[in-house]
């Protein structure tokens, strides 16, 4: 029924398995802060960042099957 969302769910499980071995502070520093800085810098530099980089990444995460 929700076939497009299954690979995304599997990838999130893989990420959670990989992050389970790390401490919470290191998990926060290694994942959330670089993602937030990259997205905010892209928003400051130009909206083309979202069109050419972020949208293909999100669509690849959701729709690519393993």
> Model confidence over 13-61: pLDDT tens digits?
555 555 555 566 666 667 777 778 877 777 777 776 667 777 777 776 6
Of 52, 34, 50, the closest CA to residue 42 belongs to 50
Q: What's residue 66's pLDDT?
A: 47
Tell me how many helices (H) and strands (E) the chain has. Answer: 5, 0
Alpha carbon distance 6, 65 (integer Å): 8
Instruction: Please give the residue that has the higher pLDDT: either 36 or 9.
Output: 36
């Amino acid at each position: 029924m929700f076939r497009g969302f299954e690979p995304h769910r599997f990838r999130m499980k893989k990420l959670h398995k990989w992050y389970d071995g790390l401490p919470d502070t290191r998990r926060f520093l290694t994942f959330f802060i670089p993602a937030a800085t990259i997205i905010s810098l892209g928003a400051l530099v130009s909206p083309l960042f979202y069109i050419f980089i972020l949208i293909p990444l999100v669509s690849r995460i959701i729709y690519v099957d393993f």
